[in-house]
Amino acid sequence: MTRFIIRRLLLTIPVLIGASLLIYAMVYALPGDPVRALAGDRPLSASVQAQIRADYNLDDSFPVQYGKYLWGLLHGDFGKDFSGRPVLETISQRLPVTVKLTIVAVVFETLFGITAGILASLRRNSFFDNLVLISTTMLVSIPVFVLGFLAQFVFGFKLGWFPIAGITDGWFSYLLPGLVLASLSMAYVARLTRSAMLDSFSADYVRTARAKGVGRTRIVLRHVFRNSLIPIVTFIGADIGSLLGGAIVTESVFNLPGLGRAIFDAVRSQQGPVVVGIVTMMVFFYIFFNLVADVLYAVIDPRIRYG
Amino acid sequence: MTDPSAAGAPLLTIRDLNIEFEVDKVWIPAVRGIDLDLAAGEVLALVGESGSGKSTLAMAIPGLLADNARLTGSIRLTGAELAGADEATLTEVRGSRVGVVFQEPMTAFNPVYTIGWQIIEAIQMHRDVSADDARARAVELLDLVDMPEPAKRMDYYPHQLSGGQRQRAMIAQALACDPALLIADEPTTALDVTVQAEILDLLRDLRTRVDAGILLITHDLGVVADIADRIVVMKDGAVVESGSSATLFSDPQQPYTRLLLASVPHLGSGKLSVAESAPPPEPTPPVPALSLRDATVEFKSGPRSTFRAVDAVTLEVGASEVVGLVGESGSGKSTLGKAAVGLVQLTSGSVHLAGIDITRLSQRGLRGPRAKVGVVFQDPGSSLNPRWPVGQAIAEPIALHTELTAAQRTARVDELLEQVQLSRSLRNRYPHQLSGGQRQRIGIARALALNPALVIADEPTSALDVSVQARVLRLLRELQAQHGFACLFISHNLAVVEELSDRIAVMRSGRLVESGPTESVLNSPTEDYTARLIAAVPVPDPQDQARRRELRLARAASE
Amino acid sequence: MGDPIERLQNSRLDAEGDEVAALVGQSSVWRDAWRYLRTNPLFLIGLAIMLVIIAMALLPALFARGIDPTDCDLSLSRQTPSAAHWFGMDLQGCDYYANVIHGARNSVMIGLISVIGVLIIGVLVGALAGYFGGWADSLLARITDVFFGIPLFLGALILLTVTATRSVWTVSLALIVFGWMTAMRLVRSSVVSIRENDYVLAAQALGASSGRILFRHILPNAVAPVFVYATIAVGTFISAEAALTYLGIGLQAPEISWGLQINVAQSLIGSSPHLLFFPALFLSVTVLGFILLGDALRDALDPKRR
């Protein structure tokens, strides 16, 4: 098992480096002036431009540039905004909010999605099953930001059940945004669970379990669900990426001071380096969580562990 | 403990059983009006080809049919009526009074739990015992089925065991609660022949140690001859004939039974005889059609390790000669066949096709030699492109290697279809519209399209029903006699190989163990492995098989 | 924001081989599928939606009854729906109905361009990786892993941040650059499983060239799963573009886009909800149409259904 973890870790490192290289190349190596590109319409004096070029080593050759950039990343240098404030500062301030939001979203996604999926698969073609299928299809079609407004308007403003914005109510203020953020993923998890369960129902080992006299409930939970867990866990791990992207919108709609909101503001105020810096951090988190999901996958599936 | 010949109390009584399946709102009968009796301590074999309904019948007993099935009739097990019983009753019966052994142990076990866990589950479903007692009993069961190191194997996952060990574990699980009836659905079909012999020994041995009656479902008449007391032959859902093993084999009444028995390749019956019309022998000895010298094929099996699929094999197939290449799974015989056509690169050694060295030729260089070799594959389901009409598949070699016009190609395709005894009208059909046997004939037609000097047939009949297999083999034999091509016939089935081959070569773990004229290899093998392989093949004749079995067990005991 | 469900289904690259193989098996697959589809209500709804939206994109003037979306009168700003102006007026006093209809064009174009781009790259790279295997496959797998490390939305976000012009083409490019991987894995998985079939081996034994084998034997049989994915992906990409535009990083004014309309409407949700409602409705229904289509196709092509 440890060997598996080490192997996975070793495979993750080139991915991390590759991703950072890709981001760096996009920002700093494409034709055109990167400083201009990052600044957008913002007017910059010649001296400020020169300062930025020096800060980002833009006058060095590309490998050197990238090397220094990577070195900086490893030391927590995620760039600076146009007033000289390090992005890392913004990140550390805003990170806790996004973490909480993501946790709430994952909990909702897992709890509701899996439960709905299991129940739908057990009562195939029933009213409940069709309800699940229709509602998940619709949830998947409605963009997160629209859902955000609607939820905020209906449940926050009109019904007053939840705070409309901000984090003043502690964990409670994360409930509605978390639910909104989780909606798309929840729909996918429900459908995936349903189809994985249905597939497993027709597996040979289920027939064997029936032949042994195992009761229906036990078959569903300990045989079918246990095997269906494998694709579900893999999916949830991979899906964190879309949660991070969705957080940008959700935090803006509900005015949560997290990383997503920071990106939103930075886009608005054309602070290119901030956008790049925070997104880079998010990408690192994402790759890390994929690794965790991979390991979890090995824990669940002995064929991977003792392959 | 139990005398198999004594008339035991009737254990299982089936009367007028009918089973239908609903497909697209139509009810299709699968089993019709079956009457069946099984006594305690008896082994009853249900024999039939695919579609005969034998598996459906067996699965109906513990109520394991699919949701779209309905049955009428009576199934009485130790007095209790099972047909139409409610789910609670059936759940109680399953495992405790009926145990089932399935065909594919790899998929029949849950891959995420250890086999120990799964056997313990079988025990705890019906017995109120503590966890420790259940575990002890599970180890006992594994010991009963001759599992090596049973206590250790308890904690193994299914994928960590060999095929034979998995099947033993499956048998142990089925016996966990001392069921009165053991249903074994093709229990040895997925196993190598030597492993099959061991499992059959085990099953026969269990009869004396355990009181269960065994219902064996199989298509293999050799297996039946080895182990069954009574036989029921099924076709299209109905019983064709039934009787004791001895009488059925020696004096079959029904035409279908006779057909089945005639179609099964019987080891020791020599080559299939057909009218010889081969061209007169050459005055000077011709170049061998295929010649492998010290051929070795290695594959990468990890970052640093290599796996030797073929190990220094030297083999020749003379012009017009049929060589049977025999081996169990993993022997490397298929890899060797592929190497002969350049589909797999040799790591060392050489391959000559009709005298031309193809060992290091490029893909382009291989085109010429390949035009003179035809290949027939095992799986009729995947050997033809599903989106091409079969005529196009047959014509592909012609299109690739000759300049014939479309009309000429069509004429040639018609000619070939006739040679494989298929109607010309099939030319524009798609593979899924044809039966397995027909598809295999198309494969043969394609192989013969360019009048090859050498045909390589890789398990061409293994996926076919017995009667279909017999016809296809006969066809191959006739074509070979007619055209005089050389043939490398690869198979795991010794009896099948015997029917066609002039010489036999035996492979094991990549090495060539023995080779020589068919008769001498089969009657007086020089190598131990060959002898064991031959001894393990069950022949469809109970007395013959009993004698062979005694000899085999005596040899094994004395080693 | 990417389609992780598809990504998941192909993250275990060769495990799905059996399913894929079964899916690509029969030549009458399409005929069977059509028979199933033409009576399937969800398919018909999805098809209807798709056709209407595409027609809207091609002939916006026709649907907008000839009203010019840029013909604005500031004094009519934020008027609610009426007989003359079905969707009311927007912030600038322009006919909202015409604007919403015209918004279809950009969305559909981006959706289609992105999917075509993704398919081209995905099929090319996936087929090469799947057929030739070996070091080419490993290299391509590593590259795919790197791209997979950057989620679609985030990657497009960065790329668009540093791009000066934000047009339909640049937005599509951003989506293609970070969205091709799923199609690649699907194609690769298909090709790997089909490659194992004996008819491919037979063609190789006959001496057919790799190109011939790929084009005449493998790809025609590998198409089905990618087809399903592509249909759903159109919806996904349209949704992603709307989100990017809403954030301010996609299309910019004076382009007409549902994302822009929603962006403007969000702060006015209390006073003029119609400004949010209509573009949001059209956007959701469009995405819904493609998803229904894709789902129905997947069910139709599902071998287990038969």
Confidence at C84, pLDDT banded by 50, 70, 90:
confident
pLDDT at B281: 56
Mutation to test the A interface, candidates C18, C45, C161, most A Cβ within 10 Å? C161
* φ, ψ at B191 (rounded to 5°): -105, 155
Q: Give the bridge partners for B10, in sequence order.
A: B39
Interface A-C, measured as beta-carbon pairs within 8 A, has a size of 166
Verify whether the Cβ–Cβ distance B377 to C25 is below 8 Å: no
In the block, which residue shows the tokens 């995936």? Answer: A192
Q: Which residues of A touch B (CB under 8 A)?
A: 203-205, 207-216, 223, 226-227, 300-303, 306-307
Mean per-residue pLDDT, C294-301: 87
**Chain A residues 56-85 with CB within 8 Å of chain C:** none
Q: Which residue of A has its CA nearest to C288?
A: A141
Verify whether the Cβ–Cβ distance A149 to C266 is below 8 Å: yes
Query: Residue C254, preceding bond cis, omega within 30 degrees?
Result: yes
Find all residues with CB under 8 Å of C194, minimum gap 6, and list them: C20, C21, C24, C200, C217, C218, C221, C222
| Residue B132 · residue B102 · CB < 8 Å | no
**Is-above-0.90 flag for pTM?**
no
Mean per-residue pLDDT, A171-187: 90
pLDDT at C26: 44
| Chain C: closest CA distance from residue A214 (Å) | 26
Q: Percentage of chain A with pLDDT > 90?
A: 24
- Among A162-171, B335-344, C43-52, C283-292, the least confident range: A162-171
Reduce the secondary structure of B346-377 to three states and give it as a string.
Answer: CCEEEEEECCEECCCCCHHHHHHHHCCEEEEC
Whether residue C134 lies within 8 A of chain B, CB to CB, comes out as: no
- Give the span between the Cα atoms of C181 and C121, in whole angstroms: 9
Q: Which residue of B has its CA nearest to C210?
A: B363
Contacts of A210 in chain B (CB under 8 A): 64, 94
Structure tokens at B275: 């009218």
Q: Which residue of B has its CA nearest to C193?
A: B382
Interface pTM, i.e. ipTM: 0.87
Structure tokens at A244: 């991070």
* φ, ψ at B37 (rounded to 5°): -135, 140
| Chain A: closest CA distance from residue B118 (Å) | 9
Verify whether the Cβ–Cβ distance A204 to B107 is below 8 Å: yes
pLDDT at C303: 65
Q: Which residue of C has its CA nearest to B367?
A: C207
The angle, 0 to 180 degrees and rounded to 10, between the axes of the packed helices C96-132 and C219-247 is: 140
Answer whether residue C3 shows pLDDT above 50: no
Answer whether residue C2 shows pLDDT above 70: no
| Chain A: closest CA distance from residue C213 (Å) | 33
| Chain C: closest CA distance from residue A112 (Å) | 17
Whether residue B133 lies within 8 A of chain A, CB to CB, comes out as: no
Contacts of C280 in chain A (CB under 8 A): 142-143, 146, 149
Mutation to test the B interface, candidates C24, C30, C199, C301, most B Cβ within 10 Å? C199
Residue (of A266, A261, A274) closest to A84 by Cα position: A274
Q: Percentage of chain C with pLDDT > 90?
A: 32
Verify whether the Cβ–Cβ distance C202 to B446 is below 8 Å: yes
- Give the span between the Cα atoms of C179 and A247, in whole angstroms: 19
Q: Percentage of chain A with pLDDT > 70?
A: 100
pLDDT at B76: 92
| Chain C: closest CA distance from residue A146 (Å) | 7
**Residue type present at position A205:** Y
Verify whether the Cβ–Cβ distance A245 to C154 is below 8 Å: yes
- Give the span between the Cα atoms of B387 and C220, in whole angstroms: 8
pLDDT at B505: 95
Mean per-residue pLDDT, A40-63: 76
**Chain C residues 9-38 with CB within 8 Å of chain B:** 24-28
pLDDT at B278: 57
Contacts of B102 in chain A (CB under 8 A): 204, 207-208, 211
DSSP label at residue B527: S
Answer whether residue C23 shows pLDDT above 60: no
pLDDT at B256: 93
Mutation to test the B interface, candidates A199, A206, A207, A208, most B Cβ within 10 Å? A208
Contacts of A301 in chain B (CB under 8 A): 111-112
* φ, ψ at B321 (rounded to 5°): -100, 150
- Give the span between the Cα atoms of C289 and C56, in whole angstroms: 14
Whether residue A238 lies within 8 A of chain C, CB to CB, comes out as: yes
In the block, which residue shows the tokens 């649907």? Answer: C63
- Give the span between the Cα atoms of B219 and B233, in whole angstroms: 10
Verify whether the Cβ–Cβ distance B91 to A215 is below 8 Å: yes
Whether residue C12 lies within 8 A of chain A, CB to CB, comes out as: yes
Whether residue C159 lies within 8 A of chain A, CB to CB, comes out as: yes
Across chain C, mean pLDDT equals 83
Verify whether the Cβ–Cβ distance A19 to C146 is below 8 Å: yes
Residue (of C234, C229, C266, C219) closest to C49 by Cα position: C234
Q: Which chains touch C (3 or more CB pairs under 8 A)?
A: A, B
Verify whether the Cβ–Cβ distance B112 to A213 is below 8 Å: no
Q: Which of C1, C266, C287 sits opposite A242 (nearest CB)?
A: C1
Q: Which of B366, B384, B443 sits opposite C207 (nearest CB)?
A: B366
Low-confidence ranges of chain B (pLDDT < 50): 1-7
Answer whether residue C169 shows pLDDT above 80: yes
pLDDT at B275: 65
Plot region of B10 (φ>0 → left; ψ -120 to 50 → alpha; else → beta): beta
pLDDT at C11: 35
Q: Which of B367, B371, B396 sits opposite C203 (nearest CB)?
A: B396
Contacts of C201 in chain B (CB under 8 A): 338, 343, 375, 377
Find all residues with CB under 8 Å of C233, minimum gap 6, and list them: C3, C6, C114, C115, C118, C179, C182, C183
Whether residue A269 lies within 8 A of chain C, CB to CB, comes out as: no
Kindly give the residue spans of alpha helices, DSSP state H, lying in chain A. Answer: 2-24, 34-39, 46-55, 62-74, 87-122, 127-141, 144-151, 175-201, 204-212, 216-218, 226-254, 259-268, 272-300, 302-305
Q: Which residue of A has its CA nearest to C1?
A: A242
